[in-house]
Structure 1
Amino acid sequence: MFQSAIVLSQKYNISMQSQYLGWESGQTGGNIMNALSDTCQCASSSILLGIVGPTLSSEAQQIANFGERIGLPVISYSATDPQLSDRNSYPTFYRTVPSDNEAAVALVKLFLKFNWTSCVVVYQNDLFGTNGINAINNAFINQGLAILKFIIFDIATLTFREDLKSSLVNSPTRIVILWVSVSYASTIIQNALDNGVLGPKFTWISSTSISLTSFNSTYYSNLIGMLTVEPVTGSVVGATINQTLLNAAYDVWKEYEPETFPSSVKVNPYALFAFDAAWVLIQSLEQLCLQMNHSCLTTNGSSYCFDRYFVNSNQLLNIINSMKFLGISGPIKFTSNSTDRMDGSYYYVQNIQSTSTGIGFAPVLEYLDPGDWNTYPGSNVIVWPGNSLIPPTGRVRHE
């Protein structure tokens, strides 16, 4: 979808100094130095006008610092670390994905809806895990909720800092929040299954969906009832989006890479956040060049990436700070006070349920910011062992 945005800008005849925008992309493998090295190389060999990404919060922190040094906007589509919201610390950083501060509010309202009062947290030991859990803990404390235990999953050794089974069995709560990235979630869930600390005696709430195909079918009954709380785009919860722009982006994708297009209902929300991140950059550069004519893309000319600087940096950032448009993920608006989008933060809860072919995720609750959790149309919510929200024909078991 990032490339669709660039190609679409060319189809719409959006140019800067009589030239169309191009792109370079790379896979960092989650390595911060790879991300910095690739960005430096790109800045040294081409006219770099902005950065879309990176994926991880740990990478985004360093790339945001690099963006500040060379005077270019860095617009992330998936880095959710709450510390990245600080405009004073990251003056050229923006993001189209909601911050984990928003996720913390959504989790609080989910707990209040089901009258849950406490939980255990399992989290990974990096910026995403630590700062995300700090935001959740602060939000819980403000509402009189409690996190009774914090269990660390070490992403270097792929092990827990303490015994998972004994920690959960000896806990007075049976609600577990799993705050890890998708690359670690399946490993942790399998460990919980092996130790008998998933359903039906425990309700797990994950920050991300996982592939269910890797689990043995003998575990399916234990996976049923697991929840996820994830950011989604406006179309998923019935909010207004720019459908015309979305259709055009999909058409570009299907035209150039039809073999990779999964169908519109299966496109990952982060892909749409990535498109909007690129579209922010495209529109802001177009406005800058309309204002400044042929001098809009000037740099100081240094060949060394850390010594390069975008001359019209302040003007470009002011344009982004005052920008407001309807994107394909929802309304996009920024201010000079925060790196976060001001509107368009949506979440939904998915629930693992039985299907005709085994098990699968089904959306069951939707949350609009500002708002509260509402039943997803046609949903069947199964929650172990707490309160449940089910239609008249549904059935739920309590432990």
Structure 2
Amino acid sequence: MPDLNCTYRPPIKCNGFDPRAFRWAQTMRLAVEEINQSAELLPNYTLGYKIFDSCAYPLTGQRAALAVLNGLSEDDSPTCSSASPLLAVIGESGSAQSMVVSRILQPFRIPMISYFSSCACFTDRKNHPTFFRVIPNDDYQVKAIAQLLVHFNFTWVGLVRGDHEYGRFAVQGLLRELQGTKVCVAYQEIIPMLYNRQRTLEILQVMRSSTAKVVVVFSTEGELTPFLRDYMTQNITGIQWVASEALITASVFTASEYYPYLGGTIGFGIRKGQISGLSDYLRTVNPQMYRNNTLVKELWEALYGCDPSLSSGSLLPSCSGQESLLEQHSAYMNTSSPRVAYNVYKAVYAFAHSLHNLLLCQPGSGPFQYNSCAQSNNIYPWQLQHYLQEVTFNIAGEEVNFDLKGDSISYYDILNWQRGMGGNIEYVNVGLFDGTKPAGEELLIQEDRIMWAGHQSEASCSHCVFTFIHQMPAFEIL
């Protein structure tokens, strides 16, 4: 994003490149192109878009939101002459970033749909009146995790979370759900947002010394990656990880070296869907087609460790930019069971169907003052939000809609990390959580399919009640 005045110095720079998130951006492009080519959805209309990289930082997300609101130049823009061309926002991914963007968009009544922000805090319609999401609210996830812990009689557990709203609200919700059960929390630890090795070692010492070998983690892969490097260096094993949806499908941890430490992890994943043509679409992205796109250049650097731009100052070996994208590049090319990408896809179509319904409005029968409709050449974001609140459509056999708080129906797949044929980690579906079922009937687990930590087919007795009897006086405060 250009800095026209050359005065802005962001306190946090983007650190590294995330091929998985780049896949989400390409999924958005694919959905927009499909809609623009459709003869049934928004015929004779063309959707346009801008994509900004928040680098998973709230401050960078704030800058991106302000940039898309203000435009790159205001010199020739008449003030308040018509509605803004910006009708809606897809995003953000992390809850901390969405919190900032939602508050910026609120005064302009611009709706946004998040594909990956699950924090329960967004149900507050007073503070987030224009926020919608196609990922379930964390209130359902913590209920599912609590039911899983109770189901397997895990008595003492540790909690590890990231230093952000997502982790904070999730832990608060889980503690609330565990009240009145036999599950007790042995410790709570916070992973710093900015890597701090000394703090990491302190957390690892707590985990090593505690006899609570079940650890529930609410974290994203970005902050957990350096944490797990130290975890593996310290050679800590025997931990039964229970992971949240932000982590359970992170392909960065599927390499074979992670299995001795993370094998057996169980958690709740976002419902998967099918996106026809996504794999072929991703293969069309290469440095030859997008010569001036720095993100495509970074994709090549991340996947191949080479520089396709042939720049003389690069520290990486040069390459042609015509290398073939393979399935082995799973962080980018993994389309076998899209989950977050499928949410991006649904979010784009939710806006498209809402806009389509808005344009079908018949004068005199509209939902606005004096039964009026929105003007097709001068649509306001709040008018689109009205239709977004009421939209219902089907995609890939799934019904998509939103409740009054902007939430969607809660479904989770229960995933278990097991050893694959090549020694790598594979996600095995071992059950589901259906939030539409009556209380107490939401959880369905296929226990015989689960592989636990240490490559055990049954839950280890390190989880059993009698192991912790000698510790109980130390935790009477709970």
Give the TM-score, by structure 1 length: 0.79
**Which residue is equivalent to 1:295?**
375
Q: Distance in 1 between matches of 2:101 and 2:413?
A: 27
Q: Distance in 1 between matches of 2:455 and 2:253?
A: 23
Paired letter, 1:125: D
**Which residue is equivalent to 1:110?**
148
1:80 and 1:105, CA in 2 relative to 1: closer, same or farther beyond 3 A?
same
Within a 5 Å distance, the mapping from 1:88-167 to structure 2 comes to 88-141=126-179, 143-159=181-197, 160=199, 163-167=202-206
**Which residue is equivalent to 2:243?**
206
**Which residue is equivalent to 1:281?**
351
Paired letter, 2:243: S
Contact kept, 8 Å, 1:164 with 1:192, in 2: the verdict is no
Within a 5 Å distance, the mapping from 1:44-63 to structure 2 comes to 44-45=70-71, 47-63=85-101
Within a 5 Å distance, the mapping from 1:208-247 to structure 2 comes to 208-209=247-248, 210=250, 211-212=252-253, 217=257, 220-233=259-272, 235=273, 246-247=275-276
**Which residue is equivalent to 1:271?**
341
Please state whether the residue corresponding to 1:112 is helix, strand or coil: helix
Any unmatched runs of 5+ in structure 2? 1-26, 72-83, 287-323, 328-332, 364-372, 436-441, 463-478
Contact kept, 8 Å, 2:158 with 2:216, in 1: the verdict is yes
Please state whether the residue corresponding to 2:355 is helix, strand or coil: helix
Paired letter, 1:331: E
**Which residue is equivalent to 1:7?**
33
Say yes or no: does 1:381 pair with 2:450.
yes
Any unmatched runs of 5+ in structure 1? 236-242, 300-309, 390-395
Please state whether the residue corresponding to 2:179 is helix, strand or coil: helix
* Residue 261 of structure 1, CA deviation: 8.7
In terms of Rg, which structure is larger? 2
Q: Distance in 2 between matches of 1:224 and 1:123?
A: 20
Say yes or no: does 1:27 pair with 2:95.
no
Percent of pairs identical after alignment? Answer: 15
* Residue 175 of structure 1, CA deviation: 0.6
Post-superposition, which runs of at least 4 consecutive aligned residues in structure 1 deviate over 4 A?
A: 14-18, 254-265, 385-389, 396-399
Contact kept, 8 Å, 1:106 with 1:347, in 2: the verdict is no
Aligned CA RMSD, in angstroms, stands at 3.2
* Residue 65 of structure 1, CA deviation: 1.6
Contact kept, 8 Å, 1:86 with 1:339, in 2: the verdict is no
- Select the structure that is richer in strand: 1
1:380 and 1:265, CA in 2 relative to 1: closer, same or farther beyond 3 A?
farther
Within a 5 Å distance, the mapping from 1:285-364 to structure 2 comes to 285-291=355-361, 295-296=375-376, 298=378, 310=380, 313=382, 315-328=383-396, 330-336=398-404, 338-341=405-408, 343-353=409-419, 355-364=420-429
Please state whether the residue corresponding to 1:163 is helix, strand or coil: helix
